[in-house]
Chains A and B, each alone.
Chain A
Amino acid sequence: DQQVKQNSPSLSVQEGRISILNCDYTNSMFDYFLWYKKYPAEGPTFLISISSIKDKNEDGRFTVFLNKSAKHLSLHIVPSQPGDSAVYFCAVTGGGNKLTFGTGTQLKVEL
């Protein structure tokens, strides 16, 4: 029973355009939401996060949006660059630092 869902296994975007990655969760008790990025042969690395008391957090080209009523999280990357090609994992916590991950979305940014 997946608590965190990333329904798009893959996404292809042209360089310079916006990439939008989506994530849905089931438990309204989750209070902290994160995105991790993973390149081949490397471990996931932390990208950006948002607390449940906010609806937007921005860090350079990366913005995370949280819609608590819809239990939906999204990551916007603009402009997308070829180096952004990676697998992106959504993760959540419900108090404490134990992460529950989604299945990941493979982003490919094409020239």
Chain B
Amino acid sequence: DAMVIQNPRYQVTQFGKPVTLSCSQTLNHNVMYWYQQKSSQAPKLLFHYYDKDFNNEADTPDNFQSRRPNTSFCFLDIRSPGLGDAAMYLCATSREVAISTDTQYFGPGTRLTVL
């Protein structure tokens, strides 16, 4: 029944050790988004894919990369995690990206801890 699935739900990594977060969807939506939410802050859009087209937000650090090998899966790669990258990472999907009224569906998030 789950529509947007994120694995793992909790991830612990070491400072500087690459880490990959996973998102999958059963909605067959064109668009997949990654948001970062730090403690007591608003979720912040990092980037999104429209189909295979990658769109980076201007202020997303280079340390963050993403891959979308097919419609269902999208990965967030953090090349060298710093202590400041500890956050909840939310994946979302929608049919379209150009239509404001198109609802975004969120996964439960992955909480990343950096030691």
B45 lies within 8 A of chain A by Cβ:
yes
Which B residues are in CB contact (< 8 Å) with A9?
Answer: 40
Interface SS of B by simple majority: loop
Q: Which of B12-20, B62-70, B72-80, B101-109 contacts A (4 or more CB under 8 A)?
A: B101-109
Cβ of B45 and Cβ of A99 under 8 Å apart? yes
Instruction: Given A97-B104, A98-B48, A99-B104, verify A44-B43 contact (CB < 8 Å).
Output: yes
Which A residues are in CB contact (< 8 Å) with B97?
Answer: 96-98
- Chain A 89-105 interface 0/1 with B at a Cβ cutoff of 8 Å (1 = within): 10001011111111110
Give the contacts of B34-57 with A (CB-CB under 8 A).
35, 40-45, 48
Q: Which residue of A lies closest to B98 (CB)?
A: A96
Determine which of B48, B100, B107 lies in contact with A93 in the assembled complex, contact meaning CB atoms within 8 Å.
Answer: B100
In the complex the two chains form, what is the Cα distance from A9 to B42 in whole Å? 11
Q: Chain A nearest CB: distance from B48 CB in Å? A: 7
- What's the tally of chain B residues with a CB closer than 8 Å to chain A? 27
Cβ of A41 and Cβ of B98 under 8 Å apart? no
Instruction: Given A89-B42, A89-B43, A102-B42, verify A44-B100 contact (CB < 8 Å).
Output: no
Cβ of A97 and Cβ of B99 under 8 Å apart? yes
Q: Which of A32, A41, A43, A96 has the most CB of B within 10 A?
A: A43
- What's the tally of chain A residues with a CB closer than 8 Å to chain B? 26
In the complex the two chains form, what is the Cα distance from A97 to B48 in whole Å? 11
Listed in ascending order, the chain B residues whose CB lies under 8 Å from chain A are: 4, 31, 35, 40-45, 48, 90, 92, 94, 96-109
Q: List 30 A-B contacts (CB under 8 A).
A: A9-B40, A31-B100, A32-B101, A43-B92, A43-B109, A44-B43, A44-B90, A45-B105, A45-B106, A46-B103, A46-B105, A49-B101, A51-B101, A89-B43, A93-B100, A96-B97, A96-B100, A97-B96, A97-B99, A97-B100, A97-B104, A98-B48, A98-B97, A99-B45, A99-B104, A101-B35, A101-B42, A101-B43, A101-B44, A103-B42
Known contacts A43-B106, A101-B35, A102-B42, then 10 further A-B pairs from the complex at CB < 8 Å, ordered by chain A residue = A2-B42, A32-B100, A43-B109, A44-B106, A45-B105, A51-B100, A97-B99, A97-B104, A101-B44, A104-B42
